[in-house]
Copies of this chain bind each other. A is one copy, B any other.
Amino acid sequence: MSNVEPLAAPARSGDHAAMPARDCPLREGILEIPGEIALYHGGRLEGVRIAWRLIGAASAPVVCALGGISAHRRVCGTDDPRESWWSEIAGPGRPLDPAHLCILSFDFLGGSGESSPAPEASFPSISSYDQAEVLLRLINHLGIKSLKAIAGGSYGGMVALAFGELYPERVGHLIVIGASDRAHPMATAWRSIERRIVRFGIETGHPAQAIELARALAMTTYRSSEEFAARFAGAPAREAGTLVFPVERYLMARGRAYAGRYRPESFLCLSESIDLHRVDTTRIFVPTSAVGVREDLLVPLADVRAMVARLPSGRLYEISSVYGHDAFLKETEPLRAVFRSALEGSS
């Protein structure tokens, strides 16, 4: 899988318009980076492996799609749609359509996918700049001269900004949803407590129970007060001697589902990476479409506005969503307008 033809041919829009996603060409592979890579926050990683995935016609322009810290290389087009993290936004008829685009993604360095480090390794601090470096190695490896765009939500938006700052000649447009140039201290507050819960669980020998709790807490920050008010107004029920409130039952179910899929070390590593993220907005010359969500508790709209004001070539989209920070996963129609404008405008 290491030899792939150059993919940066001009767009031939409409060539594959009738092709259902499951028939879209799909390529996957592991990039083995030779030697060491130097990490932005210090230290080196040797023998780094990056698991990548491409879906769409080889001749189509390439858009890299990156999600939150629990996202992975399967953006869309899996047999079970639940195994794709962006199935509301990417896929046939969606804003990112593999009939017209080739969609690239990878498992984050330090994440729970098949990229490095190995689960048993100790995890160094990893920067959004390091993920950008990995993406550069990956497009070099795949023979992609230039990405048409990087579309990133949450942590993926931070990586998009980092790549745009470092390698402006390799990407035509950044689409950044629910991310800013740095983490907000309130968001850092919640994430640092989540990390302490996980470390507390590791130290006391109950990592799975701890990551359930940490994920439950994270879920409160991914959604909005408005959504919870509409869904969880009911009375508590007694379970095993303790009262359990409707919202609590929901959060713990989400936490349990997550604990089975995610390594505590990966959670610690990528959660910290968000809080370490800090790019120099004035040096990001790539045209950037930034989407801020009024109900986002983690990335306040004011922060997205302030970032766009400092971007040399930024455009701000403000949307409302009961999904809060998770709007990037859910709001197909508002994002369609953003993607259409961004992808038409870039080369």
B185 A228 Cβ-Cβ under 8 A: yes
Measured CB to CB, the closest approach of chain B to A194, in angstroms, equals: 9
Q: How far, in angstroms, from A205 to B185 measured CA to CA in the complex?
A: 31
Q: How far, in angstroms, from A217 to B195 measured CA to CA in the complex?
A: 12
A315 within 8 A of B: no
A193 within 8 A of B: yes
A251 B189 Cβ-Cβ under 8 A: yes
Q: How far, in angstroms, from A217 to B185 measured CA to CA in the complex?
A: 13
A247 B200 Cβ-Cβ under 8 A: no
Q: Which chain B residue has the least Cβ–Cβ distance from A233?
A: B185
**Chain B residues with Cβ under 8 A from A125's Cβ?**
243
One of B192, B205, B206 near A248 (C-beta < 8 A): B192
A262 within 8 A of B: no
A232 within 8 A of B: yes
**Chain B residues with Cβ under 8 A from A196's Cβ?**
213, 216, 248, 252
A245 B192 Cβ-Cβ under 8 A: yes
Q: How far, in angstroms, from A140 to B90 measured CA to CA in the complex?
A: 68
A246 within 8 A of B: yes
The 8 A CB mask of A238-249 against B (1 = contact, 0 = none) is 000011111110
A216 B243 Cβ-Cβ under 8 A: no
Q: Which chain B residue has the least Cβ–Cβ distance from A248?
A: B192
A1 within 8 A of B: no
The 8 A CB mask of A162-190 against B (1 = contact, 0 = none) is 00000000000000000000001110111
A210 within 8 A of B: yes
A275 B236 Cβ-Cβ under 8 A: yes
**Chain B residues with Cβ under 8 A from A210's Cβ?**
200
Contact surface of A with B, Cβ cutoff 8 Å: 125, 184-186, 188-190, 192-193, 196-197, 199-201, 204-206, 209-210, 213, 216-217, 220, 225, 228-229, 231-233, 236, 242-248, 251-252, 272, 275-276, 300
